[in-house]
Amino acid sequence: MAGTFAPSASVRGLAWGIDGTALVMAGAILTIVFYRMGQDLVAAGFLVFAIGEGVILSSSAMDLDASVPFFGAGSGLWATALALISLPPVFAFSVRTLGLLAASMFASIALQIFSGIPLTPLSSPLPFFAYPLFVATFAGWIWTLLKVELPRIQDR
């Protein structure tokens, strides 16, 4: 989210590149964790999230106008991921509600882009106001994961 407020395109690209790479890694790890816990829909959600973040990551250093198709595809995948993660009762109701609200906003963004409206990652009101819900959902996931005993991931 820091890249949204960056003073220049190069700083924004760097911030989004670092952030996106970390989120792809986190999505891959959480896919494995939730799959091993038997939470297949949540695991699938984190897998779709990692793919969507990878699509968006591929355009992080591009001109904003050129990145619109990537952002539309990534937003659609984010929406799908958030729904898959938020529907099963794995996280607290409030966290799931935030995730579903963010999912609906990103689905709206994707549909608008797919229908020809050139929304960029910095457009307002959407997606600009979707990001705080997205980050609040992340915070809820982190809070939950810090509270529960997770199965250990070991090399096999």
Q: How far apart are CA 62 and CA 89, in angstroms?
A: 38
Q: What is the pTM of this model?
A: 0.91
DSSP state of 154: -
Per-residue pLDDT tens digits of the chain, which is 156 residues long: 566 666 788 898 999 999 999 999 999 999 999 999 999 999 999 999 999 999 999 999 889 999 999 999 999 999 999 999 999 999 999 999 999 999 999 999 999 999 999 999 989 999 999 999 999 999 999 999 999 876 665 655
Q: Are 45 and 85 in contact (CB under 8 A)?
A: yes
How many residues belong to the chain?
A: 156
